[in-house]
Structure 1
Amino acid sequence: MSACNCQFVIFGATGDLASKKLLPALYHLQCAGRMPEAMRIVAFGRRPWDDAAWQAFLRQELESYASGFHPEHFDAFCQHFHYVQGELHDPESYGKLSALLTREGAERPDDTTFYLAIRPGEFVPVVQQLSAAGFNRDSGSHRIVIEKPFGDDLESAIQLNEQLHRHFNEDQIYRIDHYLGKEIVQNLIAFRFANLPIESVWNRNYIDHVQITVAEDFGIENRAGYYDQAGALRDMLQNHLMQILTLVAMEPPPSLEADALRDEKVKVLRSIRPIPKTAIHAYAMRAQYGPGQVNGKHVPGYQNEPGVEANSVTETYVAAKFYIDNWRWRGVPFYLRTGKRLAAKTSSVAIRFRHTPQQLFRETSIEHIEPNWILLSLQPESLKIEIYVKEPGLEMRIRPIQLNASYRRDGEKELDAYEALLLDVMEGDRALFIRFDEVEWAWRAVDPILKAWSRETDYISTYPAGSWGPEEASRIMDQEDQYWRSIF
């Protein structure tokens, strides 16, 4: 897609996703000078507005959600926008949209990206309408961007994919997972493959286990209609955490091209050992937050949140264990956990090495040496290696220290995940977007857990809001000396 001709259509332009994530990200690109000058952005919504009413709404949302508001940038930002009132199911609305996108003197619209910031149930109807209006494989390099969830389970994901492929080719479909746009997540690739000492020990011979944590200190935030049907396994683990797992575990790709990267990620997912139906509780556990204290404030339990069904057993916390049966990782457990209303908002990868093969310090005052760790915090950003050194003094005493490999220099601004991904969409770079076989194999990994939990409708464990989750989450771990590691 050439920068001078790119057009961007936002379906659901007045919704929460657009207001909180998409519009601020586009605005930040404008402030950074990364927005193509001739970029045309069309906001598609139901409200009976003209461009002036849209701009008033846009200013209000950016003042609330953008990182800094600058009137001089806002005025230039508004020049990119047009507002189209329409209904998602109305063919005439798409005809009006096509007329707007077709520049004067052209026979067809320029290459256009359609961002579906709408409910998943609307994906297929909108794609059908776009196809009927000519925005499909016969109309050039038009693209559609869809947000997770990509289906509710394996079967529905396959059905959704078949529906999308009736109208658009795979290389026109951009499945977005904003975690893959986070700079520290991308830094996993550099950390592993640009450093020979790291990659040489990145295997089962040296690593005892891997932990991936995405913890949130907030609740469902008025999303009960969606969340009570989805739960933490579908909402977070099947996509965000599994994607991070693939980056931790994949083999070095032959290049950084999109399909080369994604091929290696799929190999990881295909190598995940199927969870036996009779051993679900040894591999996964779920829980739901009860009332408690978060950041000094009393918060209600999940079942008392507005819109949640009475006696709901939807999980707000999940911990699961996976094994990757390949040459590099066979026998190394990967522990994944995520939850809402936990003690802090943090995302991390904690890698624990094996014990040293010889207890060299057994006859000294040192009774026990803990294994070394690599601690990669995605939020807040940090990268640390935990090692042992001798304490100053006459006796042989050692203590742990952390080597902080913080990579951001003073003055270097963090790029928001959505900003990076939107730039990639504009440039046609698909490396950080998800191919369908990634979606399919991730669902295959968690489907046995979903099916087992769907039959357990009478009871669910609870944990106090503001804690690190249920104590029994440690029961899925293989060894008594393994424990959940929190990173700050």
Structure 2
Amino acid sequence: MKDQSQFPCNFVIFGATGNLASNKLLPSLYHLEVANRLPPALNFTAYSRRDWGQEDWKKHMQLTLQDKIGENFDEEIFAKFSARFSYLQGELHDLDSYKRLYEELSKPKEGVCSNMIFYLAIKPTEYNSVVKNLDAVGLNKPRGLHRIVLEKPFGEDIESAHLLNEVLHRSFDEEQIFRIDHYLGKETVQNLLVFRFANTLIEPLWNRNFIDHVQITVAEDIGIEKRADYYDKAGALRDMLQNHLMQLLAVVAMEPPPALEADALRDEKVKVLRSIRPISKRSISAHAFRAQYAAGFVNGKSVAGYQDEEGVEKASATESMVAAKFYIDNWRWRGVPFYLRTGKRLAKQMSLIAIRFRYPPQQLFRETPVESIAPNWILLSIQPSESMHMEIHVKRPGLEMDTRVISLNASYRKTDEVPLDAYETLLLDIIEGDRSLFIRFDEVEWAWRVVDPILKHWAQERDFIHTYPAGTWGPEEANRLFDSEDHQWRNEL
């Protein structure tokens, strides 16, 4: 373990009783406790508006962890973990609550520490209030020391992203701001860097001379899950494509950085985002498609359509699915389409990066029973499984010259190795101060520049939106994005 004198001693979770804290933060922090990766001096403050006492919070945390962890829940570990927590009831907009928080954090504690962490597990619309109140009571002092963590989306468009950034920078330096995109914490995404840059077998082929197109799909079979107050204003483009999918695109397309250091990695991602060809207003329909789920069946169960979800505005034109096509105008990728797709209530839960290679350049097998040679694929599965697949041709056994496709599967995790949740990686990086897997503001800015023309165009067209039955892969009209008739969505490994 690193020098623990450099670790924070206070970790404040705003919105501690919310969905994010319950579903992700508490289980991940518990697993870090199990792995003995939390510094001994690290204490947590759970900040929430619920009128609870310490025992109420401890009971809530115990029930939450028992539900999420199941039979692996350990009473002894939990006793050690829960002893790190104190509960503070407070409102996000109430300055007096922050004064009480200041007093709580000023109490002397055992151990040596250098800073505090403020994790904003709250709605993005509340960020401004929290940052301003932290500043008002002096919890951002001394400047440059503490860390603040924000979840996506970072703004609603490029203008609001700039305003949020200005508010943050009045109280915190860029080096203190940790913008989380949990996809960057997933093992397969990190393994993509190794897959590309540690294997001379792969990297020479990773360009427009060999690759025909790239597909990135993040599909969910769940609906909006009572988040209409947020989702009906955001939609799939803001909620997923502008951040998660654009980050995956940047990692797939980036040049080799000189070192695996935070700014070196982020410099290369920004170069990719800056190289994406701008979409003109008259060509948006050829580059972006949106749709909304109607009633249907998911995993054999009947589910309601988007407009029948609780809290959704009647006749809402908010997209629950979006597909888009981008081109990266640089030496490596010029002319290669990148197809991005994401949506809710699709056929299955799946996150997949699919790279299709070009056809062989000659008709070597034209006088044999082989009618055509299908192109090779590299498939990087992010979820539900974490694995890599490569499809190649071999001769089919027998007297005839015939071929078949086989899949070389590289499930890099051994059977006895437990998968990590992305938040475990990212929370440990926050504690240790490693910003490599976090997003710098210029990445946010250039991602908004890419999608802003689409957002503005759709904002003017609110009268009609395509629909698709829940439990399907979306409307056939999404296929109009493809450059070639032989392009089609890859839905399976």
Name the TM-score class by shorter chain.
over 0.9
Map 1:335-346 → 2, pairs under 5 A? 335-346=339-350
Gaps of 5+ in 2: none
Determine the C-alpha separation between the residues in 1 that align with 2:424 and 2:109.
32
Determine helix, strand or coil for the equivalent of 1:342: coil
Identity %: 65
1:163 & 1:4 partners in 2: Cα distance?
A: 26
SS at match of 1:113: strand
Structure-1-length-normalised TM-score: 0.97
Deviation, structure 1 residue 253: 0.1
Shift, 1:25, TM fit: 0.9
User: Aligned match of 2:64 in 45, 61, 69?
Assistant: 61
> 24, 41, 49: which is aligned to 2:27?
24
Counterpart of 1:43, as a letter, is A
Structure 2 residue 169 is matched with structure 1 residue 151: no
1:135 corresponds, among 132, 136, 139, to 139
| Secondary structure in 1 matching 2:172 | coil
1:101-116 mapped onto 2 (5 Å cutoff) = 101-104=105-108, 110-116=114-120
Q: For 1:14-413, what aligned pairs fall within 5 Å after superposition?
A: 14-66=17-69, 68-104=72-108, 110-136=114-140, 138-139=142-143, 141-379=145-383, 380-413=385-418
Conserved? CA contact 1:2–1:427, under 8 Å: no
| Structure 2 match to 1:468 | 473
CA shift at 1:3, angstroms? Answer: 5.8
Please report how far the alpha carbon of residue 4 of structure 1 lies from its aligned counterpart in structure 2 after TM superposition: 5.7
- What is the CA–CA distance in structure 2 between the aligned matches of 1:16 and 1:482, rounded to whole Å? 39
Contact 1:101-1:109 at 8 Å conserved across structures: no
Q: Distance in 1 between matches of 2:141 and 2:370?
A: 68
CA contact (8 A) 1:353 1:371 kept: yes
1:419 counterpart = 2:424: yes
* CA shift digits 1:187-241 (9 cap, x unpaired): 1100000001100000000000000000001100111111110000000000000
**2: distance between equivalents of 1:5 and 1:155?**
33
Specify the SS of the correspondent of 1:166: helix
The AA in structure 1 aligned to 2:261 is: E
SS in 2 for 1:97: helix
Residue 103 of structure 1: how far off its partner (Å): 4.3
Query: Structure 1 residue 55: deviation in Å?
Result: 0.3
What SS does the aligned partner of 2:405 have? Answer: strand
Q: Is the CA contact (8 Å cut-off) linking 1:26 and 1:419 kept in structure 2? A: yes
Counterpart residue number, 2:462: 457
Matches of 2:144 and 2:61, distance apart in 1: 30
2:276 alignment partner, SS class: coil
One-letter amino acid of the structure 2 residue matched with residue 101 of structure 1 = L
Q: Give the counterpart letter for 1:166 in structure 2.
A: R
Separation (CA, whole Å) in 2 of partners of 1:152 and 1:4: 33
The 8 Å contact of residues 120 and 127 in structure 2, kept in 1 or not, is answered as: yes
- What is the count of residue pairs matched by the alignment? 487
Alpha-carbon deviation of 1:6? 2.6
Task: Return the alpha-carbon distance in structure 2 between the equivalents of residues 105 and 178 of structure 1.
Answer: 31
Does the CA-based 8 Å contact 1:103-1:110 persist in structure 2? no
1: CA distance, partners of 2:144 / 2:309: 47
3-state secondary structure, aligned to 1:114: strand
Aligned partners of 1:111 and 1:140 also within 8 Å: no
CA shift digits 1:77-104 (9 cap, x unpaired):
1111011122222222222222222243
| Contact 1:343 1:467 (8 Å CA) reproduced | yes
State the Cα RMSD in Å.
1.5
Change over 3 Å in CA distance of 1:197–1:137 after alignment to 2: farther
CA distance in 1, matches of 2:409, 2:95: 56
Relative distance call for 1:155 and 1:139 in structure 2 (3 A) is: closer
1:20 & 1:421 partners in 2: Cα distance? 15
Whether the aligned pair in 2 keeps the contact of 1:28 and 1:66 (CA below 8 Å) is: no
Structure 1 residues 216 and 199: alpha-carbon distance in aligned structure 2, compared to 1, 3 A threshold: same
Q: Which residue of 1 is the match for residue 14 of structure 2?
A: 11
Segments ≥4 residues shifted beyond 6 Å: none
TM-fit CA distance, 1:36: 1.6
Contact kept? 1:6, 1:426, Cα under 8 Å:
no
Amino acid at match of 2:155: G
